[in-house]
């Protein structure tokens, strides 16, 4: 999710590189022997050509994002279109292994950024990708003074508000945070635009919705407790009965405590008298 903002740029690079046969014709995927692989060998050359392009960029900050884009592209082209029986991770590994063994021994390109993509993640990434595509078109200088300029901004705002509903319960924190980063970028850019009156100048954060819920819950609980106590006091005898019961229990406790104090000296006196009587009996028995 953190790299989706760079996907439009990566897509442009990918299409430019792979459209030139000079960058792809030297590669072959005949050594990949996975079952059913023949159906998408034509994609293999494009991927190898792009691997070579990314390796040429070295440690550029765009490489991780473009590797993630390639992961997304694999799912979109092969799995989402039902051309593959494998998952993206399995395919990515096959392409990387063949590229390393046949064309660039020791290559580490994209290995750190391989991951499997399921249908739910693909849909979320695709939504974010569409969102950034719309916004990038809004920022395109070539449409600056056309109606499309404002239309793209309005479309991106509408799409954001639709996606915002998915973050009401924050099931996926990374997804919602990426959405919030877009919001910040949008707000900073659109506030400088004076020509698009119908375009929202401010997009709300998913965090504000959750903050409101967090604040409301204790308030509602407090009000509910107050209402219950008021009802019990006003319309029932529960408070007075409770007070009488507590008072009665206190009296019983005091009574038991006083009895315990009275019994203790009587018991001690009885013991002393008993001891004295026993001594006297022993004395008289000895006299006889």
d(Cα 96, Cα 107) in Å, to the nearest integer? 8
pLDDT value, residue 12 = 94
Where along the chain do its domains lie?
Answer: 4-117, 121-204
Q: What is the pTM of this model?
A: 0.68
Of 92, 64, 46, which Cα lies nearest the Cα of 6? Answer: 64
Q: Is 174 exposed, middle or buried (0-12, 13-18, 19+ CB in 10 A)?
A: exposed
Instruction: Indicate the length of the chain as a whole number.
Output: 288
pLDDT tens for residues 67-89? 999 999 988 887 776 666 678 88
Contacts 24+ apart (CB under 8 A), 143-148: none
Instruction: Name the band, by pLDDT with cuts 50, 70 and 90, for residue 116.
Output: confident
pLDDT value, residue 270 = 39
pLDDT tens for residues 152-165? 999 999 999 999 99
- Percent of the chain at pLDDT > 70 equals 67
């Amino acid at each position: 999710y953190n790299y989706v903002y760079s996907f439009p740029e990566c897509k442009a690079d990918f299409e430019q590189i792979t459209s030139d046969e000079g960058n792809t014709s030297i590669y072959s995927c005949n050594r990949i022997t996975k079952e059913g692989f023949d159906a998408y060998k034509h994609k293999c050359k494009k991927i190898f050509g792009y691997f070579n392009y990314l390796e040429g960029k070295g440690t550029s900050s765009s490489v991780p994002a473009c590797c993630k884009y390639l992961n997304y592209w694999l799912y979109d082209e092969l799995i989402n279109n039902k051309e593959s029986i494998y998952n993206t991770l399995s395919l990515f590994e096959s392409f990387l292994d063949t590229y390393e063994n046949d064309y660039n021994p020791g290559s580490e390109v994209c290995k750190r950024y391989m991951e499997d993509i399921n249908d739910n993640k693909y849909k979320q990434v695709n939504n974010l990708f569409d969102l950034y595509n719309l916004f990038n078109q809004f920022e395109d200088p070539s449409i600056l003074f056309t109606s499309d300029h404002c239309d793209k901004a309005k479309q991106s705002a509408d799409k954001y508000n639709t996606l915002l509903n998915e973050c009401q319960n924050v099931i996926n924190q990374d997804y919602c945070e990426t959405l919030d980063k877009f919001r910040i970028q949008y707000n900073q850019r659109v506030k400088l635009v004076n020509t698009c009156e119908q375009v929202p100048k401010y997009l709300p954060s998913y965090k504000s919705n959750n903050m409101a819920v967090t604040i409301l819950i204790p308030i509602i609980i407090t009000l509910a407790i107050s209402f219950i106590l008021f009802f019990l006091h006003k319309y029932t005898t529960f408070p007075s009965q409770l007070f009488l019961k507590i008072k009665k229990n206190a009296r019983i406790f005091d009574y038991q405590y006083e009895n315990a104090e009275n019994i203790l000296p009587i018991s001690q006196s009885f013991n002393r008298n008993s001891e004295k009587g026993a001594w006297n009996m022993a004395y008289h028995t000895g006299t006889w």
